[in-house]
Structure 1
Amino acid sequence: MDKVAVIDIGTNTFHLLIVDVSGAEREIIHKEKIAVKLGEGGISVGKITDAAQERALQTLSHFKNKIDSEKVDRIFASATSAMRNASNGKDIIRKIDQVCGIKVKIISGIEEAQFIQKGVKKAIKIGSKPTLVMDIGGGSVEFILCNEKEIFWLESFEIGAQRLLDKFHKHDPISKEDIENLYQYLEKELSPLTAQLEEWQPHSLIGSSGTFDTLVDMAYAKKTENKPDDVAFTLSLDDFQLLFDEIIHKERAERLAIPGMIEMRVDMIVVAICLIQFILRNNDFNAIQVSTYALKEGILEAIVQEEIIV
Structure 2
Amino acid sequence: MKNKAAVIDMGTNTFHLLMVALGEKSFDTLYKEKVAVKIGQGGISQNLILPDARKRALHTLRHFRELLQGEKIDQIYAFATSAVRNAENGPAFVKEVREQTGIAIQVIDGEREAELIYKGIRMSGCLDQTNALMMDIGGGSVEFIIGNEDQIHWKGSFEIGGQRMLDLFHYHDPILPEEIDKLNQYLFQHLQPLIRAIRQFNPQQLVGASGTFDTLTDIYLAGNQQPKSKSKHKHLLPIQAFREIAAMLTHLNKEKRLAIPGMIPMRVDMIVVASSLICFILNHLAPKDLLCSTYSLKEGALAEMIEKVSAGLELTVQPWQ
TM-score (norm 2): 0.95
Q: What letter corresponds to residue 300 of structure 1 in structure 2?
A: L
Corresponding residue for residue 279 of structure 1? 281
Query: How far does residue 24 in structure 1 lie from its aligned partner after superposition?
Result: 2.4
User: Does the 8 Å CA contact 1:145/1:153 hold for their aligned counterparts?
Assistant: yes
User: Does the 8 Å CA contact 1:303/1:309 hold for their aligned counterparts?
Assistant: no
Corresponding residue for residue 94 of structure 2? 93
| Residue 197 (structure 1) aligned with residue 176 (structure 2) | no
For 1:305 and 1:283, locate their aligned partners in 2 and report how far apart those are by CA, in whole Å.
Answer: 33
User: Does the 8 Å CA contact 2:126/2:207 hold for their aligned counterparts?
Assistant: no
Query: How far does residue 305 in structure 1 lie from its aligned partner after superposition?
Result: 2.0
Corresponding residue for residue 301 of structure 1? 303
Query: 1:242-261 counterparts in 2 under 5 A?
Result: 242-261=244-263
| Residue 39 (structure 1) aligned with residue 37 (structure 2) | no
For 1:133 and 1:142, locate their aligned partners in 2 and report how far apart those are by CA, in whole Å.
Answer: 8
User: Does the 8 Å CA contact 2:68/2:74 hold for their aligned counterparts?
Assistant: no
SS in 1 for 2:175: coil
Q: What letter corresponds to residue 114 of structure 1 in structure 2?
A: E
Query: How far does residue 285 in structure 1 lie from its aligned partner after superposition?
Result: 1.5
For 1:206 and 1:137, locate their aligned partners in 2 and report how far apart those are by CA, in whole Å.
Answer: 15
Query: How far does residue 2 in structure 1 lie from its aligned partner after superposition?
Result: 1.1
Question: Gapped runs of 5+ residues in structure 2?
Answer: none
User: Does the 8 Å CA contact 2:24/2:307 hold for their aligned counterparts?
Assistant: no
Query: How far does residue 228 in structure 1 lie from its aligned partner after superposition?
Result: 1.8
Corresponding residue for residue 132 of structure 2? 131
Q: What letter corresponds to residue 130 of structure 1 in structure 2?
A: N
Corresponding residue for residue 29 of structure 1? 30
Q: What letter corresponds to residue 259 of structure 2 in structure 1?
A: A
SS in 2 for 1:305: helix
For 1:300 and 1:31, locate their aligned partners in 2 and report how far apart those are by CA, in whole Å.
Answer: 14
Query: How far does residue 13 in structure 1 lie from its aligned partner after superposition?
Result: 0.3
Query: 1:1-310 counterparts in 2 under 5 A?
Result: 1-229=2-230, 230-306=232-308, 309-310=316-317
Query: How far does residue 309 in structure 1 lie from its aligned partner after superposition?
Result: 3.8
Question: Gapped runs of 5+ residues in structure 1?
Answer: none
SS in 2 for 1:39: coil
Q: What letter corresponds to residue 99 of structure 1 in structure 2?
A: Q
For residues 46-101 of structure 1, give each alpha carbon's deviation from its aligned partner in whole angstroms, at most 9, with x where no partner exists: 00000000000000000000000000131110100000000000000010011111
For residues 188-242 of structure 1, give each alpha carbon's deviation from its aligned partner in whole angstroms, at most 9, with x where no partner exists: 1000000111111112000000000000000011111111221110100111011
SS in 1 for 2:48: coil
User: Does the 8 Å CA contact 2:139/2:162 hold for their aligned counterparts?
Assistant: yes
For 2:141 and 2:74, locate their aligned partners in 1 and report how far apart those are by CA, in whole Å.
Answer: 31
Q: What letter corresponds to residue 166 of structure 1 in structure 2?
A: D
Query: How far does residue 300 in structure 1 lie from its aligned partner after superposition?
Result: 1.2
Query: How far does residue 276 in structure 1 lie from its aligned partner after superposition?
Result: 0.3
User: Does the 8 Å CA contact 2:117/2:300 hold for their aligned counterparts?
Assistant: yes
Q: What letter corresponds to residue 181 of structure 1 in structure 2?
A: K
Query: How far does residue 303 in structure 1 lie from its aligned partner after superposition?
Result: 2.2
SS in 1 for 2:33: strand
For 1:226 and 1:17, locate their aligned partners in 2 and report how far apart those are by CA, in whole Å.
Answer: 23
Query: How far does residue 26 in structure 1 lie from its aligned partner after superposition?
Result: 1.4
Query: How far does residue 284 in structure 1 lie from its aligned partner after superposition?
Result: 1.4
Query: How far does residue 253 in structure 1 lie from its aligned partner after superposition?
Result: 0.5
User: Does the 8 Å CA contact 1:119/1:299 hold for their aligned counterparts?
Assistant: yes
SS in 2 for 1:293: coil
Query: How far does residue 137 in structure 1 lie from its aligned partner after superposition?
Result: 0.3
For 1:128 and 1:177, locate their aligned partners in 2 and report how far apart those are by CA, in whole Å.
Answer: 40
- Number of corresponding residues: 310
Query: How far does residue 125 in structure 1 lie from its aligned partner after superposition?
Result: 4.2
For residues 128-158 of structure 1, give each alpha carbon's deviation from its aligned partner in whole angstroms, at most 9, with x where no partner exists: 1211000000000000000111110000000
